[in-house]
Structure 1
Amino acid sequence: MTATQPPLTAHRFAMRFSSTPRGARLARRLCGTRLDAWGVPYGSDAHDAVTLVVAELCANAVRHGHVAGRDFHVLLTADPATGTVRIEISDTRGERLPHLPTATAQDGDSGRGLLLVEALADRWGWSPRAGGGPGKTVWAECTGLSLS
């Protein structure tokens, strides 16, 4: 997948989180709060979809991108002019690259996160972590949103 440049934005939220389930949960909640403040209200289909994409990418950063003592980084941007929200989750584990599963066990309770991202986001992909640091950034874009 090829990387695209984030749009010029009117809204931006960036923060580091501990690479733990608690950190992923906090990231999801804070992104949900930002979306609501930016005009994507709680309980709307758009809010639920973007928040689920955030949750899945953060969970993957914790589960597959965890390096002891290293945090993951969230960058959430929104461009009201284009109605685009971009989610970028960076971790420090560059050798474990995201890919869609070829087959998932019917009764398994994991392995479907990127399938959800694929279904909910208009585009997604990954790139090497910016700034020359170790790791990768997994990004997704949701378009057609009404933002203030």
Structure 2
Amino acid sequence: MIQKLTAPAGQPAHPEGHIRNFRVLLSPTPRGARLARLLATEQLRTWALPVDPAANIVAELAANAATHGRVPGRSFQLLLYVVGDTLRIEVTDTQGDGLPQPKEATAHTAEAGRGLLVVTALADRWGVDRNLPPRKTVWAEITVPLAT
């Protein structure tokens, strides 16, 4: 979906004056997390943007939403948008308690629990925003090639 929006001050919009954006609600399940990655990959290809590392970031954030942000009967939201040369990935879930924090990896740590370390390594910036209770949004930004 492409929607006519105004770019933030100091940020150029898409050449046609649009901010490219994609939004979808998904079930907070492993299947919903996989679908988030597949849909993001297709959207990035549609926009002629590199799939990696964005698809890996989406996979980690969606898996966290499906695992740690799961509330039965409530969906999580994936939002992608591009302003200028910045792709922003946002995953919003309805479990606002306990904000995510990266864990240090050790030789004795289980395979799980390293998702935010992956996001930290791949993203230019990332963070967490508290929204209206009970929501939180985990976001990441990466620099992408400007459209020509």
State the SS of the aligned residue for 1:77: strand
Contact 1:17/1:23 (8 A) holds in 2 = yes
Contact 1:64/1:96 (8 A) holds in 2 = no
Contact 1:87/1:139 (8 A) holds in 2 = yes
User: 88-97 or 137-146, which moves further after superposition?
Assistant: 137-146
Supply the AA of the counterpart residue of 1:38: W
CA–CA distance in structure 2, aligned partners of residues 124 and 93 of structure 1: 18
State the SS of the aligned residue for 1:16: strand
Task: Give the one of 52, 56, 59 matched to 1:52.
Answer: 56
CA–CA distance in structure 2, aligned partners of residues 105 and 66 of structure 1: 28
**What residue is the counterpart of 1:67 in the other structure?**
71
State the SS of the aligned residue for 2:52: helix
Supply the AA of the counterpart residue of 2:99: L
TM-score by length of 1: 0.82
**What residue is the counterpart of 1:25 in the other structure?**
34
State the SS of the aligned residue for 1:47: coil
User: 91-100 or 105-114, which moves further after superposition?
Assistant: 105-114
Higher-helix-fraction structure: 1
TM superposition shift of 1:133: 4.1
Contact 1:76/1:86 (8 A) holds in 2 = yes
Contact 1:13/1:76 (8 A) holds in 2 = yes
Contact 2:27/2:76 (8 A) holds in 1 = yes
**What residue is the counterpart of 1:135 in the other structure?**
135
Contact 1:14/1:76 (8 A) holds in 2 = yes
Supply the AA of the counterpart residue of 1:110: A
Task: Give the one of 35, 53, 56 matched to 2:44.
Answer: 35
**What residue is the counterpart of 1:112 in the other structure?**
114
CA–CA distance in structure 1, aligned partners of residues 140 and 111 of structure 2: 23
TM superposition shift of 1:106: 4.3
Contact 1:54/1:87 (8 A) holds in 2 = yes
Question: Cα distance 1:28–1:147, how it changes in 2: closer, same or farther (>3 A)?
Answer: farther
**What residue is the counterpart of 2:91 in the other structure?**
89
Who wins on radius of gyration, i.e. which is larger?
2
Instruction: Note the aligned Cα RMSD (angstroms).
Output: 1.9
Question: Cα distance 1:92–1:143, how it changes in 2: closer, same or farther (>3 A)?
Answer: same
